[in-house]
């Protein structure tokens, strides 16, 4: 019994000493510190993602630029914020209004593309050419004219060195030119006429034909189709007749040359119907899809 009383008294005295010691030494702790609680001033990540786009004309970018970083002289009447990210990359090459719609003349507007990145291209479909009296939007065009008639129109992409010619009036199709378009059968429906710069024939293919046949073939102009009523064609040379029937048309030219590195031209042609510009004087704006200025032309 005496021993129990002694233990209780000892515990009491020990507790009193610990209390006195802890209150006189504020830095003393009986237990290690717990990790601090998270701060209540948590800042959420921004919901606006920034894109580091080095070249807005590149076809590999994941976001379309929405503002211009142009540092040069801003055209009079505009602010830097009104300039397109493509300002300086596409410009008017020339503007020629149609003075008469009854004599076969046509209006022409040309756009030229410039870029330091040869692999990049700019989608100009949906851009507006706007004059003082209205405007026209750049439509789609056929990029590779298929001889079988599978010719869906797609957006027009211009890379550096490409140019787009837009004409008043109408035509069967808007298209990028290629080596063989001079053979298209409906040439008379294009105003201006399509260029006739078809590839020359391979003379090694005709060396076994009669001399008269070779003379006739060599007399044909670029993209010219044979006249089978001509007396210059030897009717007894079956190989010659077969060659004339199977060559000198768009299909044969396309099949022989579509894989050429220079098959596609740098020129795209589009017919807009009516002209959006005044025949005497105008202030013509080229606006991107966001209505921002790409280039300005006055005459």
What is the pTM assigned to this prediction?
0.74
When pLDDT is cut at 50, 70 and 90, the band that residue 118 belongs to is confident
pLDDT-based confidence at 155, cuts 50/70/90?
very high
Q: What is the pLDDT of residue 275?
A: 86
Q: Collapse the DSSP code of 195 into the 3-class scheme (helix H, G, I; strand E, B; otherwise coil) and give the result.
A: coil
Query: How many other CB atoms sit within 10 Å of the CB of residue 266?
Result: 16
Q: 3-state DSSP helix/strand/coil percent for the chain, to nearest 5?
A: 20, 20, 60
Most confident of 48-57, 247-256, 275-284: 247-256
pLDDT exceeds 60 at position 28: no
Strands (E) in 198-292, as ranges, are 264-273, 283-287
All structural domains of the chain with their residue ranges = 66-179+263-289, 199-262
């Amino acid at each position: 019994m005496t021993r129990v009383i002694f233990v209780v008294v000892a515990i009491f005295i020990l507790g009193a000493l610990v209390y006195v010691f802890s209150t006189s030494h504020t830095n003393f702790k009986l237990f290690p510190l717990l990790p601090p609680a998270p701060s209540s001033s948590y800042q959420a990540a921004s919901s606006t993602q920034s894109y580091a786009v080095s070249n807005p004309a590149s076809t590999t970018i994941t976001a379309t630029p929405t503002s211009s970083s142009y540092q040069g002289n801003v055209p009079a009447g505009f602010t830097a914020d009104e300039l397109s990210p493509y300002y300086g990359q596409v410009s008017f090459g020339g503007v020629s209004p149609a003075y008469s719609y009854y004599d076969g003349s046509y209006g022409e507007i040309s756009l030229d593309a410039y870029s330091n990145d040869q692999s990049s291209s700019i989608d100009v479909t949906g851009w507006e050419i706007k004059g003082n009296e209205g405007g026209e939007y750049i439509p789609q065009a056929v990029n590779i004219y298929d001889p079988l008639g599978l010719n869906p129109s797609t957006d027009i992409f211009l890379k550096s060195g490409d140019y787009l010619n837009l004409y008043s009036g109408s035509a069967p199709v808007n298209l990028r030119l290629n080596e063989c378009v001079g053979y298209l059968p409906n040439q008379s429906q294009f105003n201006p006429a399509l260029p006739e710069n078809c590839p020359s024939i391979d003379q090694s293919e005709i060396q076994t034909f009669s001399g008269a046949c070779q003379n006739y073939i060599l007399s044909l102009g670029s993209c010219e189709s044979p006249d089978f009523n001509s007396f210059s064609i030897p009717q007894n040379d079956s190989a010659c007749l077969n060659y004339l029937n199977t060559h000198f048309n768009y299909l044969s030219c396309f099949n022989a040359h579509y894989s050429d590195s220079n098959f596609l031209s740098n020129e795209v042609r589009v017919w807009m119907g009516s002209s959006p510009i005044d025949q005497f004087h105008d202030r013509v704006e080229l606006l991107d899809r966001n209505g921002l200025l790409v280039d300005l032309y006055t005459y």
